[in-house]
Structure 1
Amino acid sequence: MADRQAVLETVFVRLREVIPALRDGDPDAEKDLREYPEFDSLGVLEVLVWLEEEFSLTIPDEELVVDRFCTPGKIADYVVEHS
């Protein structure tokens, strides 16, 4: 099982590349990423593809629900649960 804090830190590194507004300030694991225009359908897809590659995951179609991946914390929890 993956370490949640380590996964969360890795997720933040990637999200800062996709969402420039996250580069400043302290990261908030519960911040709803849907508040950022960059986290549109293409942004979500980029993050999901990255998750699969970075953590050697396969996310089944039935789990491709934005609510499951809408905060950094939820993304990290998904990785921890499926690693």
Structure 2
Amino acid sequence: MAALVSRLAETLPEARGAALQETDDLRQFAGFDSLGILETLVWLESEFDITIPDEDLDVENFQSVGRMADFVLTHR
């Protein structure tokens, strides 16, 4: 989870210095728009050697650090 928080701090300038919690809704950050989500998904696939199937491309799966971590764990 630390890798996810670190990555999000890089891509979401407004999250820098914020203590992101596992359940924080990332959609509250302006940088977590369609491009920010896409960049995060590409990073998740590369970093954790997973493939995100088209049918799983639902923002609900990636709206928080906790949900991303759960997704990665179930797809490894």
TM over 0.5, shorter chain: yes
Greater relative contact order structure (CA < 8 Å, 6+ sep): 1
The 1-side partners of 2:18 and 2:36 are apart by: 21
Unaligned runs of 5+ in 1: 1-7
**Is 1:72 aligned to residue 72 of structure 2?**
no
CA RMSD of aligned residues (A): 0.8
Give 1:10's aligned amino acid.
A
Identity of aligned residues (%): 46
CA positional deviation for 1:24: 1.2
Q: How many residues align?
A: 76
Moved over 2 A (4+): none
Q: Deviations over 1:41-77 (max 9, x none)?
A: 0000000000000000000000000011000110011
2:43 is aligned to 50
Q: TM-score, normalised by structure 2?
A: 0.94
